[in-house]
Structure 1
Amino acid sequence: MTSQFIQFPEIDPIIFSIGPVAVRWYGLMYLIGFIAALYIANRVADNSKGEWTREQVSDLLFYGFLGVILGGRVGYVLFYQFEYLLAEPLYLFKIWEGGMSFHGGLLGVITAIYLFARKTNKQFLAVGDFVAPLVPIGLGMGRIGNFINAELWGRETDVPWAVIFPNDPLALPRHPSQLYEFALEGVVLFAILYWIMRKPRTLGLASGAFLIGYGVFRIFIEFFREPDAHLGFIFAHITQGMILSVPMVLAGIAIIVIGHNLQARAAINGATK
């Protein structure tokens, strides 16, 4: 029965180790994503006619890195392990045990963008537009890391490309939902934002498009992704990931409208002077 599906090989999550230091596939994927984002951001800065500098790019990515780590951890604990946190408050700081949330990381990055914008006297939405096309790169590489780690798999299915993951206690053929997320949240979302950034656009359009795009893609993929075992379905076929993604879509729409209105108001004020 299961021979017709893809048998996922057992891959050691550690590529190599030197003493107590271990290099893991998951970390390597994020490192590749970070280097690619840095390269693209520097290219954009070089072509910005002085609006951005490489030093500002380095500072912004450092702020963003801290936002991802701190926000991702706090978000995971609050959104997915809140009862465990109440029983053991120090669990929040046990990052080595794993557990990161995209939605928490997003809130951390938004906070980082706000702080960076204040420090550099840049518009918040303008900084968000600069960052938005960089995020899908890290997201996509992170999903590849999830797939290599054979974690966060999908629901049971009988499609020809179903995968049997080695650490699945039920050994069921499942959707490789990590690859679905890589394709939509990584490749497709980056292509959309790259296309937007290459054309004249209103303030906040890239930021809003990212929030809408990710929210819609995540809601769609949740129909194929297995919910966390300790959460299951919130009700019917609705998952926690879907619920957390709906505000993203609404916020994205609001940002596009706000950015358009701000730019239109600025144009009117400039014409009347």
Structure 2
Amino acid sequence: MDMQLKGRRVLITGASQGIGAGLAESFAREGCHLALVARSGDKLQALAASLRAAHNVQVDVLALDMTQPGAIEQVVGFAGDIDVLVNNAGAIPGGNLWDVDAQAWRKGWELKVFGYIDLTRAMYLRMKQRGHGVILNNIGNGGQNPDFNYIAGSTGNAALMAFTCALGGRSLEDGIRVVGVNPGPVDTERIAKVMRNHAARLLGDESRAGELLAAYPLGRSATVAEVADLFVYLASTRSSYTSGTIITVDGGISSKRSVS
């Protein structure tokens, strides 16, 4: 199916690895021109070279720590006028209320929660001037499933869900769509590390992480492509009536509630 995205300019944060790199691949495959931001310049350059060679698209990169003062302004200047913003940067640390101290909590939120909000604030106004745009927030199903042992992430993700719905509820008045995606576990190195930590805590042996994974739907995590391709659809005109909502991709984990 042609997503009618060829030639659109897409800004992706946290683009150097994991879901971010998968997003870049999926949008490049559709003929989009990319503006990629992440901390790791080497990884960004390698990804950009691969995408240019494989898909013959323009790929611009900016190596930047988005938590530094003035970073949002740098990203806006680098990206220019874009058609699609994908907020993807950041990972909030796991742990309970006492594992995650005040400094770690704020550091985690600085990039993922406030970074999303601040970049959206800036890019929304540019999109409004042009009369069109799409803003997609990669959030995570922790916001739907409050977890004692992921308290900072659960709370931050819930805040981003509310932010997305509040803004996207009226954004079509400005020709802009705002949508959130809540992936569950995705087959990335980050999730592999999380699963090893869970196995060490719950089973006393990090090498038993596969036993925990077997309990997931289909006995596995989602693939990066299964998540990234959804973003492509949501960015396209084929999804032009979608705004102010959250799409969950977790194999039913968030809905798997039972009294039996």
TM-score in terms of structure 2 length: 0.37
Name the one with the larger strand percent: 2
TM-score by length of 1: 0.35
Computing the radius of gyration over CA atoms, which structure comes out larger, 1 or 2? 1
